[in-house]
Chain A
Amino acid sequence: MSDEKVLIKGNYAIAQAAVNAGCQCYFGYPITPQTEIGEYLSGKMQELDRAYVCAESELGAINMVMGAVSTGVKAMTSSSSCAVALMQEALSYAASDELPVVLVNVMRTGPGLGYIYPAQGDYNQAVYGGGNGDYKIIVLAPSTVQECVDLTYRAFYLAQKYRNPVILLADGLLGQMMEPASFGEYPYPEVDVSGWALTGAKGREARKIYSVAPDEKKQIQHIYDLHKKFEVITENETTYEEFNIDDAQIVLTAFGSMTRNIKAAMNVLRGKGIKAGCFRPVTLSPFPHKRISELAAAGKDFAVVEMNMGQMFKDVKYAVDGKSNVDLINRPCGEWLSVEEIVAGVEGVMQGGKTYAASI
Chain B
Amino acid sequence: MQQVFSKPKSMKKDFRYTFCPGCDHGIAIRLIGEVIDELGVREEIISSTSVGCSVFLYDFLDIDAVEAPHGRALASATGVKRARPDKVVFTYSGDGDFASIGLAESMHTALRGEKITAFCINNTTYGMTGGQLGPTTLMGQKTTTSPTGRNQDYYGYPIKIAEHIALCDGTAFSARVSLDTVANINKAKQAIKKAFQVQLEGKGFGFVEILSSCPTNWHMTPEEAHERVRNEMMPVFPLGVFKEI
Q: Chain A residues in contact with chain B, CB under 8 A?
A: 24-25, 27, 51, 53, 55-57, 59-61, 63-71, 73, 75, 89-90, 93, 97, 198-203, 206-212
Contact = CB atoms under 8 A, between A and B. Distances in A.
Contacts of B65: 198, 206-210
A199 B68 contact: no
Given A200-B43, A206-B64, A55 B69 contact: no
A212 to B, nearest CB: 7
Contacts of A63: 68-69, 72, 75-76, 79, 105
Given A67-B48, A200-B43, A208-B66, 6 more contacts: A57-B104, A64-B76, A67-B68, A67-B75, A198-B64, A210-B58
Given A63-B75, A75-B83, A202 B69 contact: no
Interface string B45-73: 11011000001001001111111110010
Nearest to B84: A71
A208 B64 contact: yes
Nearest to A54: B112
A243 B68 CA distance: 45
Given A25-B83, A67-B83, A70-B80, A198 B75 contact: no
Which secondary structure characterizes the binding site on chain A? mixed
Contacts, number: 138
A60 B80 contact: no
B147 to A, nearest CB: 29
A67 B77 CA distance: 6
Contact of A64 (B44, B45, B55, B75): B75
Contacts of B75: 55-56, 59-61, 63-64, 67
Given A60-B105, A202-B44, A208 B83 contact: no
Given A59-B72, A93-B69, A67 B62 contact: no
A82 B2 CA distance: 64
A201 B63 contact: yes
A55 to B, nearest CB: 7
A55 B61 CA distance: 30
Contacts of B79: 25, 27, 63-70, 75
Contact of B44 (A53, A68, A93, A200): A200
Contact of B105 (A56, A73, A201): A56
Contact of A200 (B64, B77, B104, B108): B64
A334 to B, nearest CB: 34
Nearest to B42: A201
Nearest to B18: A214
A64 B80 CA distance: 7
B164 interface: no
Contacts of A57: 104
A67 B64 contact: no
Interface centre among A24, A201, A211 (most CB of B within 10 A): A201
Interface of B: 42-46, 48-49, 55, 58, 61-69, 72, 75-84, 87-88, 104-105, 107-108, 112
Which of A27, A89, A209 has the most CB atoms of chain B within a 10 A radius of its CB? A209
A199 B85 CA distance: 11
13 contacts: A57-B104, A60-B72, A63-B76, A64-B79, A67-B81, A70-B80, A75-B83, A97-B66, A199-B84, A200-B44, A200-B64, A201-B62, A208-B67
B66 A53 contact: no
Contacts of B58: 206, 208, 210
A73 B80 CA distance: 10
B62 A206 contact: yes
B112 A53 contact: yes
A56 B83 CA distance: 18
B104 A56 contact: yes
B67 A211 contact: yes
A68 B83 contact: yes
Contact of B69 (A53, A68, A89): A89
Contact of A51 (B55, B64, B77, B82): B82
B140 to A, nearest CB: 33
B106 to A, nearest CB: 10
A199 B46 CA distance: 7
B55 A212 contact: yes
Given A63-B72, A198-B46, A51 B67 contact: no
Contacts of B107: 56
B124 to A, nearest CB: 24
Nearest to B104: A56
Contact of A210 (B46, B67, B81, B84): B67
User: Which residue of B82, B104, B105 has the most chain A CB atoms within 10 A of its CB atom?
Assistant: B82
Nearest to A92: B69
A19 B207 CA distance: 34
Contacts of A207: 64-65
Nearest to B111: A56
Given A71-B46, A210-B58, A56 B68 contact: no
A199 B72 contact: no
Contacts of B46: 70-71, 198-200
Contacts of B84: 71, 73, 199
A202 B44 CA distance: 7
